[in-house]
Amino acid sequence: MDTSSVLDLNQLRRSCASCALHELCLPAGIDGEDLKRLDATIRDKRTLDRGEALFRQGGQFHALYVVRSGSLRTFVEDASGNAQVLGFHLPGELVGVDALANDHHASQAEALERSSICELPYEHLNHLLAQMPSLQRQLMRVVSREVAAEHQHMVVMGRQPAQERMAIFLRSLSDRFARLHRDGSTLNLSMSRYDIASYLGLAVETVSRLFTRMEEAGILEVSRKAVTILRPDLLEAMCSSPRTGSKKGDAL
Amino acid sequence: MDTSSVLDLNQLRRSCASCALHELCLPAGIDGEDLKRLDATIRDKRTLDRGEALFRQGGQFHALYVVRSGSLRTFVEDASGNAQVLGFHLPGELVGVDALANDHHASQAEALERSSICELPYEHLNHLLAQMPSLQRQLMRVVSREVAAEHQHMVVMGRQPAQERMAIFLRSLSDRFARLHRDGSTLNLSMSRYDIASYLGLAVETVSRLFTRMEEAGILEVSRKAVTILRPDLLEAMCSSPRTGSKKGDAL
DNA sequence: CCCCGGCCTTGACCGAGGTCAATCCGGTTC
DNA sequence: GAACCGGATTGACCTCGGTCAAGGCCGGGG
């Protein structure tokens, strides 16, 4: 059954025009002849199995990528092999931007589940950008969105205690699922606890404990990789530490 | 004497061609007629005093900026007024990219000392990009550099203990000074201890203690805002925690 | 000149969360 | 179905660095 659904996906991927992500992705705001040309430069040969690498740290840069289905994690490994997860990437999201600066990848990207990827060879893309101001604009907008998201994550890493980090992480995932017209309250965490811990700058044990605590509090239902948000209101409240914020009326 | 030197700077700022930052900045790799056109779109009216804002969080976006002299800090403020410093920006560095995504600034930028700024009105810039593929390429490269730097900082925030954070911070500053053909070993820290602490995700007290400890260790000479790196080798060694790294020969 | 107010430093204390270690659970192999 | 293995959970302990509190330093204004 898996094979057939994958085949379907590949067949669906014929044009950006017919893609469900159209409005969230690079083609947003582009149509007609221009869209056809963008379409023509996209190579969709990439399908990745769980754990397979899209590109490796230090590897030669030659394309940008957009997740079409599934999910990726990007991370860097330092000299001694410790990994730091930089982000998780859902359909419609762009990866590989950090490689343009000096023509080789500063990070690596791996599939968290069977995923399909749109590949945008950079030389082709450049020609297109020269001819399509609207695409140029949209590309900058997408990159800017990425930068803004990373800024948000720095706030999390800089100031927030563990519990707030988890809450913000889950809320962000939920929001992104919703944007994809999926159910924002039943999350399928394709990444491991280790990945989450690394991404949030915490120990795996802490992540695990927080899941349990939030389940006990009736906010989540956690079963392995399947997480259901039962009380979005409480989750939201948990995103900002009670310490900062309100001046009076702190329950505690 | 201050007034005259500022006037000089403003007079120097006539063209990108004559700018000392030429090769580090947007115009890198661009010359002849194209450079003139880029020049024409840059408005250099901006001179900021210490503490003055370049743009405010939530403000309407209309331009990108490049630091010409002096330095900036960018930061976000959450609902309760706590600030998280996102970065410090030296001459030749681009700020304001996170605002393109939805047309208003997601962060704010303030001068750390008297600074002059090149302003690139986005509408003009866009016209230019449509006509100058080389500028388009260079802009993406500069943005990519910024993204890569932020990834590096996430590694710091995610895994590193306090001492390593400080060491990496100082090394990074030193490197950037050197790139500007300044002396990389005599740093002038235009930002406050509070800014450093926020940027590194530490308490001010910790930053202060680390300065003292590194001075006692003979690595630095610290006097208020003036920091001299006496032993770059030791500073470098301090950048990676001894815990990770080597497999044998760990003292302790 | 002295006082005042930021900024910075130093010391003493303490708690959130990291580390270590044991166990559990679900999936895979034979 | 027994053995195995990697990921996840749980508990006990301890450390790093945050918090609180008390000066010190320097620069600016009266």
State pLDDT tens for residues A68-108: 899 999 999 987 778 999 999 999 999 999 999 999 999 99
Written in H, E and C, the secondary structure of chain B is CHHHHHHHHHHHCCCHHHCCCHHHCCCCCCCHHHHHHHHHHCEEEEEECCCCEEECCCCECCEEEEEEECCEEEEEECCCCCEEEEEEECCCCEECHHHCCCCECCCEEEECCCEEEEEEEHHHHHHHHHHCHHHHHHHHHHHHHHHHHHHHHHHHHHHCCHHHHHHHHHHHHHHHHHHCCCCCCEEECCCCHHHHHHHHCCCHHHHHHHHHHHHHCCCEEEECCEEEECCHHHHHHHCCCCCCCCCCCCCC
Domain edge (last residue) among A90, A117, A149: A149
pLDDT at A251: 34
pLDDT at B13: 54
Task: For residues A144 and A171, state if they share a domain.
Answer: no
Q: What percent of chain A has pLDDT over 90?
A: 61
In-domain check, residue A168: yes
Task: For residues B88 and B181, state if they share a domain.
Answer: no
pLDDT digits (tens, 9 = 90+) for B8-48: 444 445 677 777 677 777 778 777 777 777 777 776 667 88
**pLDDT value at B100 more than 90:** yes
In-domain check, residue B249: no
What is the average per-residue pLDDT within B110-114? 93
In-domain check, residue B204: yes
What is the average per-residue pLDDT within B141-161? 95
CA–CA gap between residue B68 and residue B183 (Å, rounded): 18
**Residue A61's pLDDT band (boundaries 50, 70, 90)?**
very high
pLDDT digits (tens, 9 = 90+) for A170-228: 999 999 999 988 898 999 999 999 999 999 999 999 999 999 999 999 999 999 899 99
Give the CATH number of the domain where residue A184 resides: 1.10.10.10
**Residue B5's pLDDT band (boundaries 50, 70, 90)?**
very low
pLDDT at A8: 46
B231 CA → C8 C1’, Å: 24
pLDDT at B2: 44
Query: Which one is predicted more confidently, B192 or A1?
Result: B192
Chain A: give the shortest CA distance to residue B86, in Å.
7
B216 CA → C12 C1’, Å: 21
- Look at chain B and count its residues: 252
Task: For residues B168 and B189, state if they share a domain.
Answer: yes
What is the average per-residue pLDDT within A107-135? 91
CA–CA gap between residue A110 and residue A89 (Å, rounded): 10
158-217 in chain B: CB under 8 A from chain A: 158-159, 198-199, 201
**pLDDT value at B171 more than 90:** yes
What is the average per-residue pLDDT within B53-66? 94
Task: For residues A62 and A178, state if they share a domain.
Answer: no
Contacts of A133 in chain B (CB under 8 A): 126, 129-130
Q: What percent of chain B has pLDDT over 90?
A: 59
Query: Which one is predicted more confidently, A161 or A240?
Result: A161
CA–CA gap between residue B69 and residue A159 (Å, rounded): 30
In-domain check, residue A252: no
By the 8 A CB rule, do A218 and A210 touch?
no
In-domain check, residue A95: yes
Query: Which one is predicted more confidently, B154 or A244?
Result: B154
Give the CATH number of the domain where residue A104 resides: 2.60.120.10
Structural domain count of chain B? 2
In-domain check, residue A58: yes
If you ran DSSP here, which 8-state letter would residue A247 be given?
S
Helix (H) or strand (E) holding A129: helix A122-131
Task: Kindly determine whether the C-beta of residue A224 is less than 7 Å away from any atom of nucleic acid strand D.
Answer: yes
Chain A: give the shortest CA distance to residue B121, in Å.
14
Q: What percent of chain A has pLDDT over 70?
A: 88
CA–CA gap between residue A48 and residue A113 (Å, rounded): 8
What is the average per-residue pLDDT within A117-123? 91
In-domain check, residue A13: yes
pLDDT at B167: 96
Average pLDDT across chain A, whole number: 86
Domain edge (last residue) among A114, A149, A184: A149
For residue A131, the chain B residue with the least C-alpha distance is B130
65-94 in chain B: CB under 8 A from chain A: 76, 78-80, 82, 84-86
Task: For residues B132 and B166, state if they share a domain.
Answer: no
Task: For residues B6 and B90, state if they share a domain.
Answer: yes
Residue range(s) defining the domain that contains residue B184 = 160-238
Task: For residues A104 and A176, state if they share a domain.
Answer: no
Task: For residues A143 and A173, state if they share a domain.
Answer: no
Are residues A244 and B82, on separate chains, in Cβ contact within 8 Å? yes
Task: For residues A116 and A135, state if they share a domain.
Answer: yes
pLDDT at B6: 46
CA–CA gap between residue B126 and residue B136 (Å, rounded): 9
Are residues B201 and A137, on separate chains, in Cβ contact within 8 Å? no
Task: For residues A127 and A18, state if they share a domain.
Answer: yes
pLDDT at B29: 78
Task: Kindly determine whether the C-beta of residue A194 is less than 7 Å away from any atom of nucleic acid strand D.
Answer: yes
Task: For residues A171 and A96, state if they share a domain.
Answer: no
**Residue B7's pLDDT band (boundaries 50, 70, 90)?**
very low
Which nucleotides on strand C sit less than 7 A from a protein beta carbon? 7-12, 16-21, 26
In-domain check, residue A245: no
Task: For residues A171 and A64, state if they share a domain.
Answer: no
Domain edge (last residue) among B149, B172, B199: B149
**pLDDT value at A19 more than 90:** no
Contacts of A142 in chain B (CB under 8 A): 101
What is the average per-residue pLDDT within B165-177? 96
pLDDT at B245: 42
Tell me how many residue pairs between chain A and chain B have CB atoms under 8 A apart.
135
